[in-house]
A and B are shown apart, each in its own frame.
Chain A
């Protein structure tokens, strides 16, 4: 209700705000406190029972339900989502060689410049010589990596992936974060494979068109 009567030396016309009308039960606190205690105790008893009897929620599968949903890391772990960019791995050919053709696309695309590749030619007489190269050294500094995934995007042959679902372990020296080719090739993808999904027609395969630079005019 508006107060039309001007008040005070400045003739302020104000609005009277009534005090909230509270029931006696609310004003005396006690019933309201009992109500609040009921809520907290309900949670307490349910959760205590489930913790003690080993009936607590699965912190990942039943995380949307009432109850204790804490993931007791590291004994319990929430798996990373499918598209999580974890530690890199180098995919393999069926022969066990790295899929990488040492094109340097990944190290060029890398904004952190954490990939170091020393490309090398195949030996004379190898069908792949002059067709593609291989990495004599492939080093990733996981401490410098920003896990942006540009290297995976840049790779033309699906040789580098970040689908291991692992994060780098907390090592205690910088050297341990320098992941070399052999280690990178040991990691497996989330589906357990080490080979690339992108099968290619290698020189010498019957399906390969047989194009080599030696026989073609440039």
Chain B
């Protein structure tokens, strides 16, 4: 019974993940396209809240979160002061608290500086300096605290420091949350507050709009096929997510009846990651055909597009459907053949095994870089996106195969394209970017090592490891989706014959050659000496180190970039601009949050 419920829960989770990410991507596509072209893009959707409700929405969750933190902190003996606090826990809480505190203060200072100081508190905040300075001080405080605690960890002062950091951290965390929320609530002016969330409400508004739109069915269409086509296009793109593992195996205790005991999540696992209780794969279905299922189902997406083109009784639609069918069939071949090399290396068709191989060795993008490029190109073509969007090519075919659709049916085609993008991103993340694998994160915790020499080690609880893996997977999927969107906003469309030539005469021979070379390489490596094998292992660890270092460097670059001051040149050259300058500029017009 528990198994069935968990299966349904996982299926619903994956479906919601794919659909929501797909719907958000439809909006992000336009928003990102606008930002690339120096425009704002769709961010107008707004929910107007009465100020009182908005204040409650700001304060109540913060109070609840603070209460939850206090409750969690006081739950066990360490929290109640009956046992010495472990250093790891003290570090986590104090770092979180200092981080949240400086972020809150920096946001408050930025707000006060923008609207001008009005009260004593405002003047104190302004006196603290620019938000950049606060951020730098905050990061320094975090690093200093970390170093101090690492130095004092073994000394007799260690327990005292850990206890103080833990208690202070918890209190500072609660204070920052409640203080920030109160500041936000008190600074809500006017009768109503607009909830905009950077424009994230836009996809919801679009969904509502299409749901209420009139469903016009042209005369002369094949009504059954016309109605069926959107579903045939929609479902395959969604169900392929079923074989993709979104996290490492969860380990539960065993109930008295031998079933999985959902209340007993294992606190920690051994270094080998073997689960003594009942394990739960974070995957809807671990099929033994695995990746072949992906190809089989993704291939049926063609039927929806071709059927829509044929059933619409429109020449442009028919041309679009034909193009969609020929293009998707062509690239399906490349898509499958590029993965031959990875299948040979991973030695399995099951996606979970593939991810495990990458977790134990190196990510697929390092073992099969050419396959990654080929697969990426073929996957973009497979999801009929720019630069391969000839089935839709609006300059030639108006809208191609879904030209005669409107309302929710049109939205289903549109969203299915983006869900296909998400599932392609998920497949690429699973096969080439290591799926849920986070470098140096093992079932029992963090172990940084090159070859056999261990550099750093820290034990982590089992649920946290799984959660980190899941977050890593989601970030990889989001990154791949974002990359596909960026490609769309960078490249122009190929001509039809160019698409066909690229598919059959470039990508296909290259993928065949790649699998041939991979075969040779595998033979060479299998016959290599033991020292060489160890060197390969060390090289694999080096790739993990490269990812980790790259991630850290990337984080530093992002922070530096975010903190860099904006530079804008004013040019008051028109009477309009003079009027605007006299009115104090137009930027800070009240837009709501």
Residues of A bordering B, CB below 8 Å: 30, 33, 36-37, 39-41, 43-45, 47-72, 75-83, 165, 190
Contacts and interface: CB of A to CB of B under 8 A. Distances in A.
Interface stretch (B91-99, B274-282, B572-580): B572-580
A67 B574 CA distance: 20
A82 to B, nearest CB: 4
Given A40-B490, A41-B486, A44-B486, A58 B586 contact: yes
Contacts of B561: 45, 49
Contacts of B536: none
Contacts, number: 119
B114 interface: yes
B574 A81 contact: yes
B571 A69 contact: no
Interface of A is mostly: loop
A24 B577 CA distance: 49
Nearest to A50: B566
A62 B570 contact: yes
A59 B35 contact: no
B579 A79 contact: yes
A79 B580 contact: yes
A61 B566 CA distance: 15
Contacts of A78: 576, 580, 586
B575 A81 contact: yes
Name which of B198, B571, B587 has the most chain A CB atoms within 10 A of its CB.
B587
B490 A61 contact: no
B494 to A, nearest CB: 10
B587 A190 contact: no
B577 A60 contact: yes
B219 interface: no
B35 A48 contact: yes
Lowest 8 A-B CB distances belong to which pairs?
A79-B579, A82-B575, A55-B566, A70-B40, A60-B580, A58-B587, A47-B35, A76-B589
B32, B562, B576: residue with the most chain A Cβ atoms closer than 10 Å: B576
Nearest to A67: B38
B40 A51 contact: yes
B216 interface: no
Interface residues of B, number: 40
B586 A43 contact: no
B344 interface: no
B3 to A, nearest CB: 43
Given A60-B576, A82-B575, A76 B587 contact: yes
B561 to A, nearest CB: 7
Contacts of B531: none
A44 to B, nearest CB: 5
Interface string B480-492: 0000001101110
Nearest to B569: A65
B40 A83 contact: no
Contacts of B587: 56-59, 61, 76
Given A63-B577, A64-B573, A75-B590, 11 more contacts: A43-B35, A44-B35, A47-B38, A49-B561, A52-B198, A61-B570, A65-B569, A68-B39, A72-B591, A81-B576, A165-B579
Contacts of B35: 43-44, 47-48, 51, 68
A45 B585 CA distance: 25
- Most chain-A CB neighbours within 10 Å: which of B486, B577, B583, B591? B577
Interface string B489-518: 111000000000000000000000000000
B148 interface: no
18 contacts: A33-B491, A36-B491, A37-B490, A41-B486, A43-B38, A44-B35, A51-B40, A58-B568, A59-B586, A61-B577, A61-B587, A62-B571, A68-B38, A71-B586, A76-B589, A78-B586, A79-B580, A82-B578
Contact of B36 (A40, A63, A72): A40
B36 A30 contact: no
Given A36-B490, A80-B576, A61 B36 contact: no
